[in-house]
Amino acid sequence: MARRSSTGHERVSEAPIPAAQLDAAFPKLKLPIVPPYPPMEAKLVDEIPTGARWQYEPKWDGFRCLVFRDGDKVVLQSKAGQPLARYFPELVDAVRALKADRFVLDGEIVIETDGHLSFDDLLMRIHPAASRITKLSKSTPATLLVFDILLDSETKGSSLVKESLEVRRQHLEAFFRSIRSTRIKLSPTTTKLTDAERWMTELAATGCDGVIAKSLDEPYLSGERAMRKIKRIRTADCVVGGYRMASKGGAVGSLLLGLYDEDGKLNHVGFTSSFSLAERKKLKAILEPYEGGEGFTGNAPGGPSRWSTERSAQWVPLAPKLVCEVRYDHFSGGRFRHGTKFLRWRPDKKPKACTYDQLSGAKGRNALNKLLAA
């Protein structure tokens, strides 16, 4: 299936293959904790919890990963309990290079590019061709950001899951004092609410989508939603470059969103369809005066896919005059990864002011680089 990249060129990629279909079963390990082992999970809440016994961490946008090492045996396990080792050989090599030879770590696999975490590059790794994975492991190497330790060589083989987070963090920091690795790094933490609030804003444009809060008094609760995750509400002002009709009913189905690049081209970056039936019918009258305009002058909406009908793949170009504000969760690869939520029209906003700069400021990139270099 052909996909258009953020640079506007066509790239050919195959649909990701589920890990369970490609990898053999986990090897047998002589550890008190063995895969598949359900990681502790987080419950979404609206506000950052406060108090003296909370620890805060950036919410990384990557693949959750448990790392098991038993001598020469290294296992990378996904959140869903699937093997990940074949997709990240550079991390397997980095784990084997560590002096400690019996441990279990909990962390996140990320790929950092120019001060931004690239989820698209992570998805490219889930590929059936070993040659492709080897090539990507060198051109876009991954990093493991570790935020917990479940088994430490220094504990003489005893599990740490019943210990409090405060104790586990002490073990984890001691673990990292004895190692030096460019591919395995300690994820930063803070107990200061002001730091967590700053991360919510500074890191929003870098691929971090919020903050994780953990109680310093709790043990590692495998499979339970014992942590708290707080997602930042992100908004962007976009030009409406076109629209698609609904499959039936004669109403507007979705607005097609655009942003201007450095060359002044309006690129299609996603859509919004969060309208009630009554609102969809009213939209047609709002959009009609702008029909027949140039629409997108850069990357344009794609044609039919295996999921779309001929009608749903058609779109109507508009003159780039209308600006709306939308809420989104992730932006990567030059697009909003999921559909956005329409918030309001912005008649006070000039269309040419709707650029990519609002999504990826230099301040955020510098903040991420500083955190990862620590």
Helix (H, G, I), strand (E, B) or coil at 329: coil
Q: Is 50 exceeded by the pLDDT of residue 319? A: yes
User: Residue 365 has what pLDDT?
Assistant: 59
CATH 2.40.50.140 domain position(s) in the chain: 234-358
Determine whether 363 is an active site residue: no
**What local confidence, expressed as pLDDT, does residue 63 receive?**
93
**What pLDDT, on a 0 to 100 scale, did the predictor assign at position 371?**
72
**Residue 242 pLDDT more than 50?**
yes
Fold exhibited by the domain 234-358 = OB fold (Dihydrolipoamide Acetyltransferase, E2P) (2.40.50)
Q: Please count the CA atoms within 13 angstroms of the CA of 326 that sit on its side-chain side.
A: 31
Rounded-to-integer distance, Cα 335 and Cα 61, Å: 15
pLDDT tens, 64-112?
A: 999 999 999 999 999 989 999 999 999 999 999 999 999 999 999 999 8
Q: Please write the tens of the pLDDT for every residue from 211-237.
A: 999 999 999 999 999 999 998 777 899
CA 195 to centroid of chain Cα atoms? 21
pLDDT at residue 304 in the model: 40
% pLDDT > 90, the chain: 59
- The predicted structure's pLDDT at residue 337: 81
Residue 362 pLDDT grade (very low, low, confident, very high; cuts 50, 70, 90): very low
pLDDT > 90? residue 289: yes
Q: Which of 28, 43, 59, 281 is an active site residue?
A: 59
Q: What are phi and psi of 369, to 5 degrees?
A: -60, -40
pLDDT higher than threshold 90 for residue 324: yes
Contact criterion met (CB below 8 Å) for 2 and 11: yes
Give the integer Cα–Cα distance in Å for 48 and 195: 11
Q: In CATH, what class is 21-232?
A: alpha beta
Name residue, tokens 């550079």. 90
pLDDT at position 113 is 83
Q: Is the pLDDT of residue 263 over 90?
A: yes
Cα distance between residue 117 and residue 269, in whole Å: 18
pLDDT at residue 270 is higher than 90:
yes
Q: Is the pLDDT of residue 303 over 90?
A: no
Q: In the chain, which residues fall in CATH 3.30.470.30?
A: 21-232
Q: Rounded distance, CA 105 to CA 142, Å?
A: 16
- The answer, yes or no, to whether residue 359 has pLDDT greater than 90, is no
Residue 271 has pLDDT above 70, yes or no: yes
